[in-house]
A and B are shown apart, each in its own frame.
Chain A
Amino acid sequence: MVQQTFEGEVLTEPVVVEREFETVDMNINIGPQHPATHGVFRMVLTVDGEIVKDAIPYIGYMHRGGEKLSENLDYRGALGYQDRTDYLAAFNSEWVYVNAVERLAGIEIPERAEYIRLILAEFNRILSHFMFMGAFGTDVGYFGTAFTWTFKERERIQDLFEAVCGDRIMYNYFRVGGLAWEPHETFIEDSHWVLDQVEIGIGDVDELMTNNEVFVARCRDIGAMTADEAIAYGVTGPMLRASGVPFDLRVDEPYSIYDRFHWEIPVGERGDVYDRYLVRLEEMRQSVTILRQALDQMPTSGPIEPERMPARLRPEPGEIYMRQENPRGEYGIYMVSDGTDKPWRVKMRSPCFHNLSSLKPQVINTYLADAVVALGSIDIVLCEVDR
C-alpha cells in the first residue's frame, strides 16, 4: 500500500495511526450574557459531559469605583452611590451609610425617623427576598410563574416606596440626621394594606414551590456547606443561617431599635440550596412580624430630623466600621475622617462578594444544572460585588 503525503512524498510503509478516543473536557462560558447569571457575572465551567470539573468565576464587569467616588464627595453627597451598590435593597444600603456617618459625627436622630427607616428597610428586605424567589424559581426552571407571582407582590412594595419617596429603585430618601421629607399622610394605612397583601403573596410562593417534588429534587443536598466552611469563607446572611449558624446582626450587634420587637431567626440544618430558600422564606414572614409591631409602635407625629444640623459636616478625626444586616448578609461601611468635609477613606464590605467566593467548592463535581441553581441560591447583586 502506497500512501502519499501532502508534500508529495511517497511512503512505502503503510502508516497505521493508533487512535484512542480521548474525551476532552469542554469549557463553557456562563455569562456575562447568559439567562442564568444575575447581572454580569461570568463563570467559565470546565465540563466533562454534564459534570462540572472546574469553575473559574470572573467579576469586575460592573466596577465603577464607588468607594473612591465616595471619597471625593462630601458626606451627604455620596449617599446616592449607596443606592447603586445593592440596588435590590437600596434602603438597607443607604441606612448603613447614613448610620455610619451619624455615629462618626455623633448625631442623634429623632425616634420617628428611626421607625420610618426601619419600616422601609424591612419592607426592602421582603422586596429583595421576593426578587430572590422569582429569579431563583426561574433558575430552577419555572417558566416565569414564580417570577410573575413574586413580582406582583414586589410591585406593591415598590408602589409604597414610590408614594413615600418618589422613586421605585434608587430611593435616595435617607439623610444624615433623618429623612429627606415626611412620608405621605396615609403611610401607615398603606403599609398595613401592603403587608396584608404581601403575606398572602408569601403564602402563594410557599405553596407554589416549597413542597413541589421536582423543586425538592432539584434543591435538596445541592451546594451544601457546613457551618465551619461557611464561616471560613466569610459567608453571612441567609446563607450562613441556612448552614446552621444563628448569626444575625440585628440581634448580635443591635443597631437602631431592633431590640424593641419580638421575632425569631430562622436557621437551616443542612446548609444546602433548599435550606437557603426556606430560611429566606421564613425571614420574609419574620419581617412581616417586625413590620406589624413597628407600625403599631411608631409615633404618629414628631420631627424627622434634628433641630440643628451643621451646614457642612466635619466629623472629628476618627474611624468607624458600621455593619448591618442587609437581605444578603453583613453590609459594612468603614469610614475614616480626617476632620475635613470629605471622608478620607470609605470602604464598603459587601456580603455578596464574600458569599460568592464560596461558589467554587459548591459547584465542582456537580451537574451543570446544579451549578446554575447554586449560583442562584447565593442571590448575588453584581453591582454590590463589583461596587
Chain B
Amino acid sequence: MVLSEFAGVSMPDWIDALLRVIFIVALMTIVAFALIYLERKILARFQARVGPTRTGPIGTLQSIADALKLVTKEDVRPITADRWAFELAPYMAFVPVFLVFVPMPFTETWFIRDLNLGLLFVFGVLGLNIVGVVMAAWGSDNKYALLGGVRAAAQAISYEIPMLLIIVAVVMVAAGRLAVDGDASAAGSINAIVGDQTTTPYILLQPLGFFIFIVGMLAELHRPPFDMPIAESEVVGGYFVEYSGMRWGMFFLAEYTALFLLVVLASSLFLGGWNWPFGADVGLGLQIVLTFVKTSVMIVLVIGSRALFPRLRIDQLMSFSWKVLLPFAIVQVIANGIILAYGGADWVVGLVSFALLVALSGLVYYIMRRKQGEGTRTVQTTPATPRVITAPEVTPVEAGGD
C-alpha cells in the first residue's frame, strides 16, 4: 500500500513510513482483538458452551475489557528474576512478529514493501521470536518456565526446518512458472508468488507442502496438538508463567498476531491470496474480502484443532518432525527438482506431491493403528455369573472399652 498515492497527497518519506507503522500496529491490534474474541466464541461452540455474552453486544467487547484489565494490573517481577532478560523478553517476542508484516500482501497493491526476498525475510525475522521466549523462560527464574522455554526452543528449531524446505519447494515451482514470463528471479517475493496463482492455487501443485506448512504453523504458534511449551497440565503455562499485566498481554498479542500473520502467509502461498479461484480479475474491494475469507477459513481450522486434539509429548513431537516431516519435505524438494529440470507439466508436480501426501498420511495412520493394537477397541468381557456368596457376617468379638 503506497499511502501517498492512496491518499492522493505527496508527503515526505519519513511521514509515509511512520504512517505505515502506525497503520500496521493499529490494524494488527484490532485483528488480534477480533481473533481473541473469535477464538473464544468458536471454541465455545466446539465445547457446547456459548462463550462471552455479557460485554457488549454478544460479548464483542470482551477483548477490550480483557485488555483494560491487563493494562491496569500490577506488573509483578519476581525478586529473583534476571531483571533485563525478564523485562525485555516481551519486546523481543513482540517486535519481530510485527516486523514480519512488511512484505505481507493483503491485496494486489496493499502491502508495505514488495521485498524481493520476502519469504527469506519473513522466516529470518520470525525466527527471532524464539529468543524472546527463551529470554522469558530463563529470566523468570522458574522451573516450569525454564522447561517450557526449552521445549519451545527445541520445537521451533525442529519445525522451522521442514517448513523452510517446503517453502523452497514452493519457490521452485513458482520460479519454474515465472520463468515462462522470463522473471524467475522474483520467485522469492510473496507478491510475485501470489500474482502467479491467478489460475492455479499452489495447493493443487503442492498439497504436501500445504500440509507440512499447516503442521509447522501449528507448532510455531504453540497450538494444539503442539502446545507443550505452554501446556497447562504439565508446565502450568510455560515461559510466561511469571508474567502478569501488560507484559503477559504482549506475549498474548504477539501470539495472536503471529497466528494472523502465518495464516495470511499460508493463504498467500497456497490458496492464492487475493485471487478469485481459477482466474477472473477482481477489483480491490473484492480482493480484501477474498483475503479475509481465506484467512478466516484457516483460522477456524486452527481453532478447531485446539478444540479437538490433545497434546503430543515432546519426544513424539520431535520424532514426528525429524523422522516424518523432514524426509518427506526433502523428497518433495528433490522430486520438484527432477520434474522441473525435465520440464514436467504442472499436473505432474501436483500428482507427485499428492502421492507423497497420501503416503505420509498412510504411514502415520498405519503406525498409530499398530500402536493402538488389535482387539483392544472392544474390551474383553467375562459374563458376570455370581459365585458363591461369601457375604461378610458379623463375628462376635470381645470388644474392648475405651
Contact = CB atoms under 8 A, between A and B. Distances in A.
Contacts of A370: 313
A378 to B, nearest CB: 15
A15 interface: no
Contacts of A369: 228, 231, 234, 311, 313-314
Contacts of A278: 376-377, 379
Nearest to A210: B377
A50 B224 CA distance: 19
Contacts of A322: 392
Interface in A255-294: 255, 258-259, 261-270, 274-275, 278-279, 282
Interface stretch (B251-259, B347-355, B393-401): B393-401
A338 interface: yes
Contacts of B150: 49
A266 B392 CA distance: 26
Contact of A212 (B310, B379, B390): B310
A347 interface: no
Interface centre among A26, A28, A209 (most CB of B within 10 A): A28
Nearest to A261: B384
Given A252-B387, A369-B311, A28 B143 contact: yes
A359 to B, nearest CB: 16
Interface in B345-400: 364-365, 368, 371-373, 375-377, 379-387, 389-400
A6 interface: no
A26 B364 contact: no
B160 to A, nearest CB: 21
B368 A50 contact: no
Interface string B298-337: 0000000011111111111000000000000000000000
Contacts of B195: none
Contact of A140 (B311, B373, B397): B311
Contacts of B10: none
A141 B48 contact: no
B382 A218 contact: no
Given A36-B233, A338-B399, A264 B381 contact: yes
B384 A338 contact: no
A139 interface: yes
A259 B224 contact: no
A246 interface: yes
A319 interface: yes
B236 interface: yes
Contact of A139 (B233, B368, B385): B233
A182 B239 CA distance: 55
A218 B308 contact: no
B399 A344 contact: yes
Contacts, number: 198
B47 interface: yes
Contacts of B236: 34-35
Given A35-B236, A152-B48, A217 B371 contact: yes
A209 B311 CA distance: 12
Interface string A308-322: 000000011111111
B379 A282 contact: yes
A235 interface: no
A26 B310 contact: no
B47 A148 contact: yes
Nearest to B315: A367
Contacts of B364: 213
B144 A28 contact: yes
Contact of B397 (A253, A264, A319): A319
B394 A103 contact: yes
Nearest to A30: B234
A269 B376 contact: yes
B73 interface: no
Nearest to B307: A145
A255 B308 contact: no
Nearest to A281: B379
A37 B225 CA distance: 21
A140 B144 CA distance: 18
Interface in A116-165: 137-145, 147-149, 152
Contact of A214 (B143, B225, B314, B395): B225
B399 A144 contact: no
B232 interface: yes
Contact of B368 (A27, A34, A217): A217
B368 A213 contact: yes
B233 A35 contact: yes
Contact of A26 (B143, B386, B402): B143
Interface string A218-247: 101100000000000000000000000010
Nearest to B374: A269
Interface string A90-117: 0000000000000110100000000000
Contacts of A144: 43, 47, 307
B83 interface: no
A264 B47 contact: no
Contacts of A137: 310
A214 B231 CA distance: 15
Contacts of B402: 344
B394 A264 contact: no
Given A143-B224, A217-B371, A318-B397, A264 B310 contact: no
Nearest to A206: B377
A143 B386 contact: no
A216 B372 contact: yes
B69 interface: no
A338 B401 contact: yes
Nearest to B368: A213
Interface in B1-55: 43, 46-49
Of A26, A50, A103, A259, which is in contact with the most chain B CB atoms at under 10 Å from its CB?
Answer: A50
Given A254-B386, A282-B381, A214 B233 contact: no
Nearest to A342: B402
B227 interface: yes
A353 interface: no
A144 B247 CA distance: 26
6 contacts: A36-B233, A212-B308, A221-B371, A254-B386, A254-B389, A267-B379
Given A28-B143, A270-B373, A338-B399, 13 more contacts: A50-B147, A140-B310, A148-B47, A148-B49, A209-B310, A214-B312, A221-B371, A264-B383, A267-B382, A269-B376, A320-B395, A344-B402, A369-B313
